[in-house]
Structure 1
Amino acid sequence: MFPDPDIQHLDDVSKHGGRVRSFRHERGHWASYVYAVFHPREEFREMLEELQSAARKHGVTLTKMEEFHISLSQTVILRHHWINPFVQSLKDRLCFVSRFLCVADRLKVYVNEEKTRTFLGMEVMTGHQQLLEVVSEVDKSLQEFNLETFYQNPSFHVSLAWCVGEVTEPLQGACLLELQKVVDEFEDSDVLTRFYADEIRCKCGNQVWSVPLR
């Protein structure tokens, strides 16, 4: 079970808000990743709108994420006939993992490897060790298929919004301090930024598999 060597990272411009595709699409090959689900309350989206407004004052236009999650793997390529065995491997390894509390209340700026998008995220502090343990199991499943494992010393986070290109400098300093103040002073922010990781998902192309935690 070896990935094809001709699968390459590409920077072809897509037509989705100026975003850039990371992988060439090939028949029978599916871009896939593993993540923990975060279901935000309606008030969380109101807080995010305030963050967008504050960022605009510093010349940064942020686009809200369509969904919110914590990545537990890099994006890898699975052949079609690998998908079911890979998902089953995840289920076998995670079936004894209990759900756990996560608190993500510290804002941080992230850039993808291709430096084509910049993200505003909330870093997970409480729950970090449990996420490392989940990643350890996910990595074992990836290694079964000779796929790349997750980053060393990861910063687990929930991406909130993004913009095209590398724009870390405008988001840092005074801007980031003001954004953090929005979170800290938002009513019930201590409730909105905490949640239980009770489900791990694997997305392959447009298909999603769920692995509930105990």
Structure 2
Amino acid sequence: MSGLSYICEYGEEEEIHPEEYEDLPKKQCQKPRLPRPNLSGVSVVSFEEHIENSSLHRGRVRTFPHVRGNWATFVYIEYPDKENLFKLIDKFAVLLATIDDSCCKCEDIHISLSKTFVLKYHMINTFTSCLQEVVNNIESFELGFESIEVFCNEDRTRTFIALKVDFIAHRNLIDITKKIDNILEDFRLPKFYHEPSFHMSILSVNGDKKQDISKILNHLNQQFLEQEDRLDTIVINKVNCKSGNKYFQYYLK
């Protein structure tokens, strides 16, 4: 049966006009219409509004709301010597628990080279390709830490205990972030802080507890300097980028 014969079978009020199909036999237009498809068994995916519940994330609050299609992205350095680092974190966690019982270990330990910004999905490949081109021309460098510092996030919802990088590492990280800032500017994205303090957050507590923790900061620094398993200076030879659930890794020269 030709496809033309089905023209009269769909629709409720559709008719074929003789002037359009003069050669179409009238008897073909008298056939019963095809039944409507039964969609009752077809599953429908509902798109519900995403409601943020900080109680499910140890009190952490998003910097910006979850929006479908927006990919939270940031550039960072991952610290590779985890064994000695975790020993240090466990020691400090015991001290901080006496001040605030919401103290917890940071899940994603890193040194930020950018703020967290938003990329649309179609921008990810272009951005990461530009990042790779820049990073491939940066030389590897040594990373060490000189002290313990206390920081609050911008909206004052969380306080962090962090290891501050030493002077030599700071100088190298400044050069790297300037190159990354050039890419961010091209994409009209927010650049890094004007005078960044490069650090690696290891513990956090809910709310703005900077003043309370600062009271024991000298003790924390003494513990850091006297630790038996010191964090050795290590060579950093790669930069990472995370966008949503996508991870990218770029090696330095």
Q: Which shifted more, 114-123 or 18-27?
A: 18-27
Q: Which shifted more, 55-64 or 127-136?
A: 55-64
| Local SS of the residue matching 1:106 | strand
Asked if structure 1 preserves the Cα contact closer than 8 Å seen for 2:102 and 2:206, the reply is no
Write the deviation string for residues 130-171 of structure 1: whole angstroms up to 9, x where unpaired.
101100111111111100000011000011111111100110
Higher-strand-fraction structure: 1
Asked if structure 1 preserves the Cα contact closer than 8 Å seen for 2:164 and 2:198, the reply is yes
Give the corresponding residue for 1:171: 213
Give the corresponding residue for 2:89: 48
Unaligned runs of 5+ in 1: 1-11
- Give the C-alpha shift of residue 41 in structure 1: 3.4
| Local SS of the residue matching 1:127 | helix
- Number of residue pairs aligned between Structure 1 and Structure 2: 201
Q: Which has the larger radius of gyration?
A: 2
Write the deviation string for residues 64-103 of structure 1: whole angstroms up to 9, x where unpaired.
1123211000010101001000000101111111110011
Pair 1:60–1:180, CA change in 2 (3 A): farther
- Give the C-alpha shift of residue 195 in structure 1: 2.3
Percent identity of equivalent pairs: 31
| Local SS of the residue matching 2:57 | coil
Give the corresponding residue for 2:154: 113
Is residue 184 from structure 1 mapped to residue 225 from structure 2 by the alignment? yes
Asked if structure 1 preserves the Cα contact closer than 8 Å seen for 2:100 and 2:205, the reply is no
Instruction: State the distance in 2 between where 1:193 and 1:121 align.
Output: 16
Give the corresponding residue for 1:82: 123
What TM-score, normalized by structure 1, do the two folds share?
A: 0.89
Q: Which of 56, 63, 69 is equivalent to 1:28?
A: 69
Unaligned runs of 5+ in 2: 1-51
Q: Which of 141, 147, 162 is equivalent to 2:204?
A: 162
What TM-score, normalized by structure 2, do the two folds share?
A: 0.75
Matches within 5 A, 1:56-67: 56-59=97-100, 61-67=102-108
Asked if structure 1 preserves the Cα contact closer than 8 Å seen for 2:240 and 2:250, the reply is yes
User: What letter corresponds to residue 105 of structure 2 in structure 1?
Assistant: K
- Give the C-alpha shift of residue 61 in structure 1: 4.5
Give the corresponding residue for 1:91: 132
Pair 1:40–1:68, CA change in 2 (3 A): farther
Pairwise CA RMSD: 1.6
Is residue 136 from structure 1 mapped to residue 175 from structure 2 by the alignment? no
Instruction: State the distance in 1 between where 2:211 and 2:110 align.
Output: 25
Is residue 201 from structure 1 mapped to residue 240 from structure 2 by the alignment? yes
